[in-house]
Amino acid sequence: MASQARVRGYDPSEAILEIFPREGEFTLRTEDILQKISDHADELALVLFGGINYYTGQFFDLKAITDAAHAAGAIAGFDLAHAAGNVVLKLHAWNADFATWCSYKYMNSGPGGISGIFVHEKHFNNPELNRFEGWWGFRQDRRFLMPPIFEAENGAAAWQLSTSAIMLLALHKAALDIFKDAGGVDILRAKSVLLTGYLEFLISEINQQRGRDIFKIITPRNPVDRGCQLSIVCKQNGKAMFNRLTADGVIGDWREPDVIRLSPVPLYNSFEQVFEVGRILAAAAEEN
């Protein structure tokens, strides 16, 4: 975002607006996001937001943010790196202008997996859009005639600049086939709510048994406001507890200074595995 602002002659410190949680809170309130957009309605060109925050695991109200952006006369775009394959997304119905995501996280397409984009169909036939135009976005039936004026392919493909990597596409197709065989995102999301809820219950049990909050979950408690991730603040000796999890075969993520991220993924994690993670967490709390 900073480089985009600089390329267009703006100072990033002036052109980019950020929003932070309230004092003493870890997640953003939707009303604060919407108020920020409203307060700067006269100067906003783009509202660019994450779908799920990588640190807290908060799933934002993308429809409300889109509506507020449009009310301000701005474009609404979303980074869905942590949301794609994790939660149910209805970008067209929510009227989002565009979105982009990677496929190597919850979509299981491997390290460096191919990225994806969404562009709302209302933009497909707009020749006035000021955008980068590339060879692979040119309409296929006339591409090799090489006319001097760009003619866009129909759909989001018009924004593609160069040839896709065929091996990455093959890996991604294999991953999507597995999603299809599993019944689709809706079914997986239903399991995810239960699986993550079970991990939350086990963590609460550990705190109760110890008589104090050794672990503080900063991810929203309402399943509607989160994906499968739980971000856990360790009150003390957090790195040692994370190392214990790793030593016992639990693949999580450590974020300085004191957060462990755990994501029970419905496609390949079981309730028994979540129970085992709870057991290891309890043992780590006892040791530390």
Domain definitions of the chain by residue range: 2-181, 185-287
The rounded distance, in Å, linking the Cα atoms of 261 and 242 is: 9
Which H or E run contains 48?
strand 46-50
Main-chain dihedrals φ then ψ at residue 80, nearest 5 degrees? -110, 30
The number of residues making up the chain comes to 288
The rounded distance, in Å, linking the Cα atoms of 39 and 24 is: 23
Q: What's the CATH code, domain 2-181? A: 3.40.640.10
The rounded distance, in Å, linking the Cα atoms of 139 and 129 is: 16
Residue 52 DSSP class: B
The rounded distance, in Å, linking the Cα atoms of 261 and 9 is: 38
Positive/negative CA dihedral, 78, 65, 53, 189: negative
Which H or E run contains 217?
strand 215-217
Q: Tens-digit pLDDT profile for the chain (288 aa)?
A: 999 999 999 999 999 999 999 999 999 999 999 999 999 999 999 999 999 999 999 999 999 999 999 999 999 999 999 999 999 999 999 999 999 999 999 999 998 999 999 999 999 988 888 888 999 999 999 999 999 999 999 899 999 988 889 999 999 999 999 999 999 999 999 999 999 999 999 999 999 998 888 999 999 999 999 999 999 999 889 999 999 999 999 999 999 999 999 999 999 999 999 999 999 999 999 888
Q: Based on the number of CB atoms within 10 Å of its own CB, is 232 exposed (0-12), middle (13-18) or buried (19 or more)? A: buried
Instruction: Tell me which amino acid residue 157 is.
Output: A
Q: What's the CATH code, domain 185-287? A: 3.90.1150.10
115 within 8 A of 130, measured Cβ to Cβ: no
**What does pTM read for this prediction?**
0.94
Query: Three-state DSSP class for 244?
Result: helix
